[in-house]
C-alpha cells in the first residue's frame, strides 16, 4: 500500500445488492475458471492438448449424444446397444460414483450450515461401511430377504456413523475442542479400524485383504440384472443407491427449510448470539448436528459397500473430502447437491482412465479455491476513488461518543 504519493485509494465495501443468482454464477464461474487453470497445469504435466483431454473426460464420464440416442432407441425397441457398454455405461458409472458423494455432500451441508466443519465424513463413512459389513456377513444369515438385509445394513451404517460423529460433537459441545482437528484425526482412526478388521483381524479371508463376496442379499440390485428383459441394460452397474441419496437430499431439504430443528440450525449458523437470545440451545444442537452428519456419511459407507459387494483394502478414501466440495459448490443447498454430485461423479469417472492420476484432486482444489475466492468478490465491491483533503472521503458512518 503506497501511502505517500498515490492520489488514489482502493476501498472495499459491502455490496448493497446481492441477488441470489450471483451464487450460482460464482459456482459456475468457479468451475469454468478451474478448468482453464487446470488446462495450464495439464500442459505442464505433459498432456498435449488440454481441450482434447477435457473432451475425453466428458466422454468417459457421460458419453456422447450419438451413443445416448442409440441407447434410448435400443431400450425402446428391446434390443441391445450397438456399441455395447458405451451407450449408457458412462452414465451408469457416473450414477454409481455420484451416490456416495451425494451422501457425504449432504453430511457436509448439514454440518456446514451450522458452521461446524465436519471434515471427518471419510472416517464416518468407513465406520458405516464397517457396520454394514458386520450386519451383512456376520450377523444376519445369508438367506435373509434382500430388502430386509439392505434395510438392516442401512440402519447399521446410520447408527455407526452417528456414533462416530458424536465423538467430535461431544468434544466440541462440552470442551469446545476444535472439530476440524478431531474429525480429521478420526478419519485416520477410521481407516485403521477397518484395515485392522480386514487385513489382520477376524474378517480377512486367507491372505486376501477382504471379507470375500457378500451374499447376494446384501448387495444392491443392479440394472444389469434386468438384462434379459432389456438387453440394452446388460453390464450396467447402476443401482438404487442414488435413490437413497436423493431421498436423503429431499429429507434434508425438508428438515432445513420446513422443520423447527432446521430453523434452529440455520439461526445458529448465521448468528449464534441471536440464537442464544431466542433460547436456542447451542450445545445440544452441536451434538445433534454432528451425529446426523455422521449418520449421513455412514449411510454413504453402507451404500458403497453394498455396491462393491465386498469390503476390502481398496475401499476408496477421499469421498468425504469430495463431499466438502460438493457442499460448497451446491451453496449448502441439499437439492442443488443432487445435480452437483452428478456432475462431480462424471468428473471422477472421466478422469479415472486419464493419466496422469491426481487430476481429479487437483481440479477439486482449484475449483474450491476459485469458488471461495470469487464468492467474496461478489460480496464486496472494489472501488477506486481519488483522495485529497477537499474531497468527501466516503468513509463508513462513525459515531461520536
What backbone torsions phi and psi does residue 354 show, to the nearest 5 degrees? -85, 130
Q: How far is the CB of 133 from another protein (least distance, A)?
A: 17
Q: Which residues contact 139 (CB under 8 A, 6 or more apart)?
A: 152
Residue 63 DSSP SS3: coil
Residue in 265, 369, 381, 386 binding another protein, rule: CB under 8 A: 369
Q: How far is the CB of 345 from another protein (least distance, A)?
A: 17
Interaxial angle between packed helices 146-175 and 179-195, expressed in degrees from 0 to 180 and rounded to the nearest 10: 140
Residue pair 101/323 in contact (Cβ under 8 Å)? The answer is yes
Q: How far is the CB of 189 from another protein (least distance, A)?
A: 5
Q: How far is the CB of 344 from another protein (least distance, A)?
A: 13
Q: How far is the CB of 372 from another protein (least distance, A)?
A: 5
Residue in 77, 335, 356, 381 binding another protein, rule: CB under 8 A: 356
**228 lies in the binding site for another protein (CB under 8 A):** no
- Residue 95: name the closest of 346, 314, 310, 302 by CA: 346
Q: Kindly determine how many residues on this chain lie close enough to bind another protein according to the rule CB under 8 A.
A: 89
- What is the DSSP annotation of 335-351? HHHHHHHHHHHHHHHHH
Q: 78 vs 201, which CB is nearer to another protein?
A: 201
**226 lies in the binding site for another protein (CB under 8 A):** no
Q: How far is the CB of 196 from another protein (least distance, A)?
A: 4
Q: How far is the CB of 247 from another protein (least distance, A)?
A: 18
The C-alpha atoms of residue 203 and residue 212 are separated, in whole angstroms, by 9
**206 lies in the binding site for another protein (CB under 8 A):** no
**249 lies in the binding site for another protein (CB under 8 A):** no
Residue pair 235/224 in contact (Cβ under 8 Å)? The answer is yes
Residue in 27, 182, 285, 312 binding another protein, rule: CB under 8 A: 182
Residue in 88, 130, 328, 342 binding another protein, rule: CB under 8 A: 328
**331 lies in the binding site for another protein (CB under 8 A):** no
Residue in 33, 181, 227, 343 binding another protein, rule: CB under 8 A: 181
Residue in 48, 175, 206, 228 binding another protein, rule: CB under 8 A: 175
The C-alpha atoms of residue 239 and residue 224 are separated, in whole angstroms, by 9
From residue 269 to residue 308, what is the string marking binding to another protein with x (rule CB under 8 A)? -xx-xx--xxx-----------------------------
Q: 116 vs 136, which CB is nearer to another protein?
A: 116
Residue pair 26/378 in contact (Cβ under 8 Å)? The answer is yes
The C-alpha atoms of residue 62 and residue 93 are separated, in whole angstroms, by 9
Where in 23-82 is the site for another protein (CB under 8 A)?
41, 44-45
Where in 114-133 is the site for another protein (CB under 8 A)?
117, 119
Q: From 50-58, 61-69, 139-147, 368-376, give the range in contact with another protein by CB under 8 A.
A: 368-376
Where in 86-115 is the site for another protein (CB under 8 A)?
none
CA atoms within 13 A on the CB side of 11: 13
Residue 312 DSSP SS3: strand
Residue in 24, 55, 142, 357 binding another protein, rule: CB under 8 A: 357
Residue 208 DSSP SS3: strand
Q: Which three cell numbers stand for residue 382?
A: 472494489
Q: Which residues contact 300 (CB under 8 A, 6 or more apart)?
A: 99, 100, 101, 103, 104, 107, 121, 125, 128, 157, 319, 323
Q: How far is the CB of 340 from another protein (least distance, A)?
A: 16
Q: 159 vs 184, which CB is nearer to another protein?
A: 184
The C-alpha atoms of residue 13 and residue 16 are separated, in whole angstroms, by 9
The C-alpha atoms of residue 246 and residue 242 are separated, in whole angstroms, by 6
Q: How far is the CB of 95 from another protein (least distance, A)?
A: 24
**8 lies in the binding site for another protein (CB under 8 A):** no
Q: How far is the CB of 312 from another protein (least distance, A)?
A: 16
Amino acid at each position: 500500500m503506497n501511502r505517500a504519493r498515490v492520489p488514489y485509494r482502493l476501498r472495499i465495501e459491502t455490496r448493497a445488492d446481492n441477488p441470489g443468482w450471483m451464487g450460482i454464477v460464482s459456482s459456475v464461474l468457479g468451475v469454468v475458471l478451474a478448468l482453464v487453470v487446470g488446462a495450464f497445469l495439464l500442459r505442464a504435466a505433459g498432456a498435449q492438448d488440454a481441450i482434447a483431454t477435457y473432451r475425453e473426460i466428458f466422454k468417459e464420464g457421460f458419453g456422447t449424444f450419438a451413443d445416448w440416442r442409440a441407447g434410448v432407441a435400443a431400450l425402446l425397441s428391446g434390443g441391445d446397444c450397438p456399441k455395447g457398454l458405451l451407450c449408457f455405461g458412462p452414465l451408469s458409472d457416473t450414477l454409481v460414483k455420484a451416490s456416495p458423494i451425494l451422501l457425504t455432500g449432504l453430511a457436509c451441508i448439514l454440518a456446514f450450515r451450522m458452521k461446524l466443519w465436519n471434515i471427518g465424513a471419510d472416517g464416518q463413512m468407513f465406520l458405516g461401511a464397517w457396520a454394514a459389513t458386520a450386519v451383512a456377513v456376520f450377523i444376519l444369515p445369508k438367506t435373509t430377504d434382500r430388502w430386509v438385509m439392505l434395510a438392516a445394513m442401512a440402519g447399521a451404517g446410520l447408527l455407526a456413523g452417528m456414533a462416530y460423529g458424536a465423538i467430535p460433537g461431544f468434544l466440541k459441545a462440552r470442551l469446545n475442542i476444535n472439530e476440524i482437528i478431531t474429525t480429521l484425526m478420526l478419519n485416520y482412526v477410521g481407516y485403521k479400524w477397518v484395515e485392522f478388521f480386514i487385513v489382520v483381524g477376524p474378517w480377512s479371508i486367507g491372505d486376501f485383504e477382504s471379507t470375500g463376496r457378500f451374499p447376494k442379499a446384501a448387495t444392491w440390485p443392479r440394472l444389469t440384472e434386468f438384462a434379459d428383459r432389456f438387453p440394452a441394460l446388460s453390464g450396467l452397474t447402476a443401482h438404487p443407491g442414488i435413490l437413497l441419496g436423493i431421498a436423503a437430499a429431499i429429507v434434508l431439504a425438508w428438515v432445513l427449510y420446513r422443520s423447527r430443528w432446521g430453523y434452529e440450525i440455520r439461526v445458529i449458523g448465521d448468528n449464534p448470539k441471536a440464537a442464544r437470545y431466542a433460547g436456542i440451545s447451542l450445545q445440544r444442537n452441536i451434538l445433534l448436528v454432528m451425529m446426523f452428519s455422521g449418520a449421513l456419511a455412514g449411510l454413504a459407507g453402507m451404500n458403497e459397500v453394498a455396491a462393491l459387494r465386498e469390503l476390502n483394502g481398496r475401499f476408496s478414501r477421499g469421498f468425504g473430502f469430495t463431499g466438502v466440495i460438493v457442499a460448497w459448490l451446491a451453496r449448502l443447498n441439499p437439492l442443488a447437491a443432487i445435480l452437483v454430485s452428478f456432475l462431480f461423479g462424471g468428473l471422477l469417472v472421466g478422469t479415472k482412465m486419464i493419466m496422469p492420476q491426481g487430476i481429479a484432486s487437483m481440479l477439486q482444489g482449484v475449483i474450491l479455491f476459485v469458488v471461495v475466492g470469487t464468492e467474496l468478490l461478489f460480496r464486496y465491491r472494489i472501488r477506486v476513488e481519488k483522495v485529497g483533503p477537499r474531497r468527501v472521503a466516503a468513509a463508513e458512518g462513525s459515531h461520536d461518543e
